[in-house]
């Protein structure tokens, strides 16, 4: 028993360090590629590591008006929540470490925790910019959570109707039964629509342009993060990096759980794992590239009202339509 | 129930508004100024503007130097309008001293002035894109802008502060062998202009953020004496180059550009500001081309020797006004020369931002906090041009003066300097 526990602790540590490392690399890639697309040279790939090291040695300022314990606690909560998320996701095609202890619904809730932590931290900062940012983050959450929930639930519902009795909300089950192969033509279109909705929710979940409204540098000087500095800021920075991996992995697990090893005929063994992990990294990168990097280069920041309208009407509409098509697919 | 509670309307409760300060140091501002916004949720219901953070006493400094030294100082009032202020200043002094400027010098002044408009408007467009959170457009626009900076460097030796105009003429020629560089740059801009218009005016996300944002009606623009692109975006056909032609502009048919030239009804919003500025880049290219083709031959300065020039200026007396349509609007320099002294007796600078300052209030009211950066940028403010006054008491506390007192103080000052 203690051996299993020790094993789990080791695996957990590897996942945490690996996930963080990956997130930082993807963040570096994001900055470099965005710069190249904008006609700039951009920072070196390891700039995010330099940034975190620098933030760590910088002074950690707590404003006089802040509620100090809440202000200091929230970066930790945020980092802990995204760290926990890593344990529930099939990273690199492996079984999630805590796959047996939670499902998609838990992931949905855990995804909301970092945003809520930022909101509380923003309100606790006692600065008008942070307050405006926190209000905006709340509105954003109310806007994008609905299409996100519809997307995840529709997938689970479809699988439950195909495989009654299965643990349909378990990511392992969802990932090992890709829906693309199970649905008919109507369901295929439905799945595509749900995928689109998830791709549009991704930059909002990650607070990237055009949905970086709660942070909006030119408007509210970093908003929620305006008063954060030093160690606290570094934790939010790391949480942001990990969240990128989480959103990428979630999309990959739900829509592209395919491995390459079977196709190449090297199932099992070290090489099979290496190929699958490499393919997984590429898949996550492709998702991040199209959902985050290209989008943030191609758009201006929206206003909070415009973003909320966008999510409440067209995006919710798209995901609802996807859900209806999936239902029709079962009936027809 | 008493009558008071019945008559209370929605939004009357004072507790619903809160104040958000923006500035003097804020990412949305390129130069220090302080806004204080009263917000109802995200909506702006009140705004207070406090300028005075970039006051350097430059007029006073100019009045302690001889005129040619003051000319170089005038160039340093602003980095972007670094030809506009000297153009207005030289015209004011020439006007006061009765000095003629040779035609070739007038054309060269016009060329440099219009090149400045090209790079200033492109700079503004890039800043505007950044305020919208559209950094891609910022980088592309500023990349395009480099060509005009390079050309200015080729023609004058400097990327900013060109040191071209001097009383009675210009200091450097635009030689025939360098004209092809200018034509090259103009062709480059002509080929890119449609792309710029597409990128700014036909982009959905830019339109969403700028249409009907920061609107200034025609009547408000007239009432608040707005100048330059800010006024023209509201449909006011007002342009010093058209209304009171000077330099080479009198030889051309210059028309003030309004959004109507783009085929849309002027609304005075940020989108119209983009239209006006982009079309003015096109207009400037045409003006530069005309000037290059019709560059008159002849001397560069009517009084080429600096000691002779200084002596002539020392002998002169009287007052003069110089006006120039700077990229941001009309800049006015007023000077008074006294006989027998090398320094200026009076030097008064009125920059376009000073006239446009009050246009901010109707532009801000009713819009959202998210619109603050782009509305602030929409008049292309230049605080260091504008800040001519800073009030402080002996303890260093800032004080506020109301209208009556300011009028009294300015009348006193006018009497004092006019003797």
- The answer to whether A225 contacts chain B (CB < 8 Å) is no
Q: Same domain for B137 and B73?
A: yes
Q: Which two three-digit tokens encode residue A87?
A: 């344990």
Place of tokens 């970086």: A212
Tokens 């909006």 label which residue?
A216
Is residue B373 located within the same domain as residue B390?
Answer: no
Question: How far, in Å, are B118, B157, B163 from residue B160 at the CA level?
Answer: 13, 9, 9
Residues B392 and B373 in one domain: no
Contact A306 B28 (CB under 8 A): no
Answer whether B378's CB lies under 8 Å from B77's CB.
no
Give me the residues paired with residue B337 across strands: B318, B344
Asked if pLDDT for residue A175 goes beyond 80, the answer is no
Is the predicted ipTM greater than 0.90, yes or no? no
Q: Is residue B198's pLDDT more than 90?
A: no
What pLDDT, on the 0 to 100 scale, is given for residue A125? 86
A303–chain B nearest CA distance, Å: 6
Burial degree of B289 (CB within 10 A; 0-12, 13-18, 19+): middle
In which band, very low, low, confident or very high, does the pLDDT at A103 lie, cut at 50, 70 and 90? confident
The residue that leads in pLDDT, A7 or B272, is B272
d(CA A209, CA B275): 25
Asked if residue A194 has pLDDT above 50, the reply is yes
Task: Confirm or reject contact between B26 and chain A (CB < 8 A).
Answer: yes
pLDDT surpassing 70 at residue A268: no
Inter-chain touch B370–A303, beta carbons under 8 Å: yes
pLDDT over 70 (residue B228): yes
Mean pLDDT over all residues of chain B? 86
CA–CA dist B8, A104 (Å, integer)? 49
Say if the Cβ atoms of B209 and A128 lie within 8 Å: no
Total H helices, total E strands in chain B: 18, 8
Using an 8 Å CB-CB cutoff, list chain A residues near B140: 38-39
Tokens of A208: 């990237």
Name the domain count of chain A: 1
Mean pLDDT calculated for residue range A78-105:
78
- Distance of alpha carbon B130 from alpha carbon A219, whole angstroms: 11
Using pLDDT thresholds of 50, 70 and 90, give the confidence band for residue B6.
very low
Q: Are residues B18 and B75 in the same domain?
A: no
Residue B281 sits in a domain of what CATH number?
Answer: 1.10.645.10
Q: Treating both helix axes as pointing N-terminal to C-terminal, what angle do A68-87 and A104-125 enclose, rounded to 10 degrees? A: 160
Q: Which residue of B has its CA nearest to A298?
A: B136
Q: Residue A39: left (phi > 0), alpha (psi -120 to 50), or beta?
A: left
Q: Give the rounded percent of residues in chain A with a pLDDT score beyond 90.
A: 11
With contacts defined as CB-CB under 8 Å, which chain A residues touch B135?
38
Structure tokens at B340: 């027998």
Residue B2 has pLDDT above 60, yes or no: no
One domain for residues B31 and B82: no
At a CB cut-off of 8 Å and minimum separation 6, what does A33 contact? A42, A289, A293
Q: Is 50 exceeded by the pLDDT of residue B390?
A: yes
Q: Is B29 in the same domain as B123?
A: no
Residue B44's region, left for phi above 0, alpha for psi from -120 to 50, else beta, is beta
Average pLDDT of the segment spanning B47-70: 87
Backbone angles phi, psi at B157, to 5 degrees: 95, -10
Is residue B372 over pLDDT 50?
yes
What residue numbers bound the domain in which B18 lies? 3-52+386-418
Which pLDDT does position A262 carry in this prediction? 64
CA A228 to CA B262: how far, in whole Å?
A: 46
Judge contact between A303 and B206, C-beta under 8 A: no
Tell me, yes or no, if B129 comes closer than 8 A to chain A by beta carbon: yes
pLDDT at B4 over 70: no
Predicted local distance difference test score (pLDDT) of residue B402 = 81
Q: What is the per-residue DSSP string for A34-73?
A: HHHHTT-----TTHHHHHHHHHHHS-----TTS-HHHHHH
Residue B1 has pLDDT above 60, yes or no: no
Q: How large is the C-alpha radius of gyration of chain B? A: 23
Domain boundaries, position A104: 2-331
Query: Which band of pLDDT confidence, cut at 50, 70 and 90, is reported for residue A187?
Result: confident
Same domain, B357 and B400: no
The answer to whether B36 and B21 have CB atoms below 8 angstroms apart is: yes
Please determine, for residue B16, whether its predicted confidence score (pLDDT) is greater than 80: no
Mean pLDDT of the region B247-271: 86
B338 shares a domain with B353? yes
> Can you give the pLDDT at residue A93?
62
Mutate to test the interface with B, among A210, A216, A219, A296 (most CBs of B within 10 A): A219
Same domain, B148 and B10: no
Yes or no: say if B279 and B261 are a contact pair by the CB < 8 Å rule: yes
Q: Is the per-residue pLDDT at A76 higher than 80?
A: yes
Per-residue pLDDT tens for B229-243? 999 999 898 888 888
Let me know whether B238 and B118 are in one domain.
Answer: yes
Structural contact between residues A222 and A215, judged by C-beta atoms closer than 8 angstroms: yes
Which of A140, A216, A218 is best to mutate for the B interface (most B CBs within 10 A)?
A218
Instruction: Return d(Cα A254, Cα A237) in angstroms, integer.
Output: 26
Mean pLDDT of A110-128: 88
* Structure token digits, residue B12: 């009357």
Are residue B35 and residue B134 in the same domain, yes or no? Answer: no
- Average the pLDDT over each of A147-161, A263-277, A290-304 and give the range with the smallest value: A263-277
- Which position has the higher pLDDT, B41 or A123? A123
B373 part of contact set with chain A, CB < 8 Å? yes
**Percent of the residues in chain B that have a pLDDT greater than 70, as a whole number:** 95
Asked if residue B271 has pLDDT above 50, the reply is yes
- Inter-chain residue contact A303 with B209, CB threshold 8 Å: yes
- Quick check: A300 and B133 CB within 8 A? yes
Number of domains in chain B: 2
B384: nearest Cα among B89, B114, B27, B51: B51
Which pLDDT score is estimated for A161?
79
Contact B341, B97 (CB under 8 A): no
Q: What is the pLDDT of residue B205?
A: 81
- Name the minimum distance, in Å, from the CA of A145 to any CA of chain B: 22
pLDDT at A1 over 70: no
The DSSP bridge partners found for residue B392 are B398
Q: Is B137 in Cβ contact with A303 (below 8 Å)? A: no
Could you tell me if B143 and B253 lie in one domain?
A: yes
């Amino acid at each position: 028993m203690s051996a299993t526990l020790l094993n789990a602790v080791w695996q957990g540590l590897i996942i945490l360090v690996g996930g963080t490392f990956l997130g930082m690399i993807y963040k570096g890639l994001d900055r470099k590629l965005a710069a190249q697309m904008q006609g700039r040279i951009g920072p070196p790939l390891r700039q995010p590591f330099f940034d975190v090291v620098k933030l760590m040695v910088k002074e950690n300022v707590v404003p006089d008006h802040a509620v100090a314990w809440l202000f200091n606690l929230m970066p930790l909560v945020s980092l802990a929540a995204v760290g926990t998320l890593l344990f529930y996701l099939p990273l690199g095609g492996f079984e999630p470490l805590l796959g047996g202890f939670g499902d998609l619904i838990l992931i949905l809730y855990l995804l909301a925790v970092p945003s809520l932590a930022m909101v509380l931290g923003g309100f606790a900062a006692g600065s008008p910019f942070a307050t405006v940012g926190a209000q905006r983050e709340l509105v954003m959450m109310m806007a994008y959570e609905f299409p996100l929930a519809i997307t995840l639930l529709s997938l689970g519902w479809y699988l439950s109707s195909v495989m009654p009795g299965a643990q349909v909300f378990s990511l392992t089950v969802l990932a090992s039964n890709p829906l693309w192969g199970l649905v008919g033509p109507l369901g295929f279109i439905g799945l595509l629509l749900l995928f689109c909705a998830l791709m549009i929710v991704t930059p909002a979940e990650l607070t990237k342009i055009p949905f970086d409204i709660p942070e909006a540098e030119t408007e509210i000087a970093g908003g929620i993060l305006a008063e954060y500095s030093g160690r606290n800021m570094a934790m939010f920075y790391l949480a942001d990096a990990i969240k990128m991996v989480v959103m990428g992995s979630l999309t990959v697990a739900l829509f592209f759980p395919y491995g390459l090893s079977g196709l190449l005929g090297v199932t099992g063994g070290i090489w099979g794992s290496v190929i699958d992990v490499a393919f997984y990294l590429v898949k996550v990168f492709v998702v991040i590239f199209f959902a985050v990097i290209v989008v943030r280069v191609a758009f201006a920041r929206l206003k909070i009202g415009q973003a909320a309208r966008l999510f409440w009407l067209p995006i919710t509409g798209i995901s609802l339509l996807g859900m209806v098509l999936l239902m029709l697919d079962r009936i027809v | 129930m008493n009558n008071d509670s019945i008559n209370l309307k929605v939004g009357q409760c004072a507790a619903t508004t809160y104040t958000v300060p923006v500035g003097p140091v804020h990412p949305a501002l390129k130069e220090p100024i302080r806004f204080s916004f009263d917000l109802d949720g995200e909506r702006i219901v009140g705004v207070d503007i406090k300028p005075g953070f970039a006051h350097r006493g430059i007029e006073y400094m100019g009045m302690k130097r001889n005129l040619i030294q003051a000319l170089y100082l005038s160039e340093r009032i602003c980095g972007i309008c670094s030809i506009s202020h000297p153009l207005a200043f030289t015209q004011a002094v020439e006007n006061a001293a009765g000095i003629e400027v040779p035609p070739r010098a007038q054309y060269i002044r016009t060329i440099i002035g219009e090149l400045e408009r090209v790079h200033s408007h492109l700079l503004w467009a890039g800043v505007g894109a950044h305020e919208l959170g559209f950094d891609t457009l910022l980088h592309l626009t500023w990349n395009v802008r480099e060509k005009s900076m390079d050309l200015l460097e080729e023609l004058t030796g400097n990327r900013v502060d060109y040191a071209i105009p001097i009383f009675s003429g210009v200091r450097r020629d635009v030689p025939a062998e360098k004209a092809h560089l200018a034509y090259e740059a103009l062709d480059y801009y002509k080929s890119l202009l449609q792309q710029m218009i597409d990128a700014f005016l036909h982009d959905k996300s830019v339109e969403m953020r700028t249409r009907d944002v920061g609107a200034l009606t025609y009547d408000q623009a007239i009432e608040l004496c707005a100048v330059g692109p800010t006024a023209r975006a509201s449909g006011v056909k007002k342009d010093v180059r058209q209304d009171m032609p000077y330099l080479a502009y009198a030889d051309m048919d210059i028309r003030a550009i309004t959004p109507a030239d783009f085929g849309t009804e002027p609304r005075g919003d940020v989108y119209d500001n983009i239209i006006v500025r982009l079309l003015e880049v096109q207009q400037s290219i045409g003006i530069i081309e005309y000037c290059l083709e019709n560059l008159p031959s002849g001397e560069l300065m009517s009084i080429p020797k600096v000691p002779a020039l200084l002596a002539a200026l020392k002998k002169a007396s009287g007052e003069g006004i110089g006006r120039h349509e700077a990229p941001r609007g009309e800049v006015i320099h007023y000077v008074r020369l006294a006989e027998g002294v090398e320094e200026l007796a009076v030097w008064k600078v009125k920059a376009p931002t000073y006239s446009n300052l009050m246009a901010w209030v109707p532009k801000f009211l009713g819009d959202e906090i998210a619109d603050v950066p782009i509305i602030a940028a929409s008049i292309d403010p230049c605080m260091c041009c504008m800040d001519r006054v800073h009030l402080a008491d002996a303890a260093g506390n800032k004080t506020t003066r109301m209208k009556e007192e300011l009028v009294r103080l300015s009348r006193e000052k006018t009497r004092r300097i006019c003797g």
